[in-house]
Amino acid sequence: MALGAGALALVVLPLVGLLQRAPWSSLGRDLGAPEAFAALRLSLETSVGALAVSVTLGVPLAWVLARQRFPGRTLIRALVTLPMVLPPVVGGIALLYAFGRRGFAGHVLYYLTGWRFVFNTSGAIVAEAFVAMPFLIVTAEAAFRSMDPRGEEAAATLGAGPAYRFRRVTLPAVAPALAAGAALSWARALGEFGATITFAGNFPGSTQTTPLLVYLDIESGHEGTALALSLVLLAVSLAVLVGLRDRWLGSP
Partner 1 sequence: MTLTATIRLALGTLELGVDLDVDESAVVAVVGPNGAGKTTLVRALAGLVPLDAGRVTIGATTVEDPAIHLRVPPEKRSVGVVFQEHRLFPNLTALENVAFGLRATGIAKDLARAKAASWLEQVGLRDMARHKPAELSGGQAQRVALARALATEPAVLLLDEPLAAVDAAARAELRHVLRAELSRYPGDRLVVTHDPIEAAAVAERLIVLEEGRIIQQGPLVEVTARPRSPWVATMVGLNLLSGVAAHTTVRLDSGALVATGTAAQGPTFVAIRPNAVAVHRAPPEGSPRNVWPGQAGELYLTGDRARIRITGPVPLIAEVTASSVAELRLGDGGAVWASVKATDIDTYPA
Nearest to 23 by CA among 187, 193, 223, 201: 223
Regarding 241 and contact with partner 1 (CB under 8 A), the answer is no
Which CB, 165 or 188, lies closer to partner 1? 165
Q: Which of 5, 79, 158, 239 binds partner 1 (CB under 8 A)?
A: 158
Q: What distance in Å separates the CA atoms of residue 52 and residue 40, rounded to the nearest whole number? A: 18
Length of the chain: 252
Q: Which of 55, 61, 155, 236 binds partner 1 (CB under 8 A)?
A: 155
Buried b (16+ CB within 10 A) or exposed e, 92-127: bbbbbebbbeebeebeebbeeeeebbbbebbbbbbb
Burial class (CB in 10 A: 0-12, 13-18, 19+), 149: exposed
Choose the binding region for partner 1 from 2-10, 39-47, 77-85, 159-167 (rule: CB under 8 A): 159-167
Regarding 69 and contact with partner 1 (CB under 8 A), the answer is no
Regarding 20 and contact with partner 1 (CB under 8 A), the answer is no
Regarding 146 and contact with partner 1 (CB under 8 A), the answer is no
Shortest Cβ 173–partner 1 spacing (Å):
8
Choose the binding region for partner 1 from 25-33, 45-53, 162-170, 224-232 (rule: CB under 8 A): 162-170
Shortest Cβ 69–partner 1 spacing (Å):
15
Cβ contacts of residue 152 below 8 Å, gap of 6+?
Answer: 165, 169, 170
- List residues binding partner 1 (CB under 8 A): 150-151, 153-161, 164, 168-169, 172-173
